[in-house]
Amino acid sequence: MKYTTASDNPKTIYFIIDYNGSLTVNSVEWNYGDGTKETINGTTASHTYQQAGTYTSQAKVNLKNGKSTCSVEPKKSITVN
């Protein structure tokens, strides 16, 4: 998982799942570490934090290969100014 900060708002973070495996990313369940969660179908997301601080964001990446599924759950500690 990688992230960048928006140039116009330091509390907005853009997240990217960098996956190069042979399975298909089916969905990503994001937990931004501030009580906000969402599920999306892509590998990118953005979130605006209300307060500065350090948060642990987690993404449960659901992978699919035919009828089989599995998941990986990368975590990243980020500091929001």
Domains of the chain: 2-80 (2.60.40.10)
CA angle 79, 35, 5 (to 5 degrees): 30
Q: What is the pLDDT of residue 22?
A: 87
Kindly list the distances between the CA atom of residue 7 and the CA atoms of 4, 15, 56, 80, in Å, as whole numbers in the listed order.
Answer: 9, 14, 21, 13
**What is the per-residue pLDDT across 24-38, written as a single tens digit (0 to 9) for each?**
999 999 999 999 999
Distance CA 46, CA 80 (A): 13
pLDDT at residue 66 tops 90: no
65 vs 8, higher pLDDT? 8
Q: What is the pLDDT of residue 36?
A: 98
What is the DSSP annotation of 45-65? EEEE-SS-EEEEEEEEEEEEE
**What is the per-residue pLDDT across 41-60, written as a single tens digit (0 to 9) for each?**
989 999 999 999 999 999 99
Mean pLDDT of the chain: 94
Distance CA 79, CA 5 (A): 10
Q: Whole-model pTM? A: 0.89
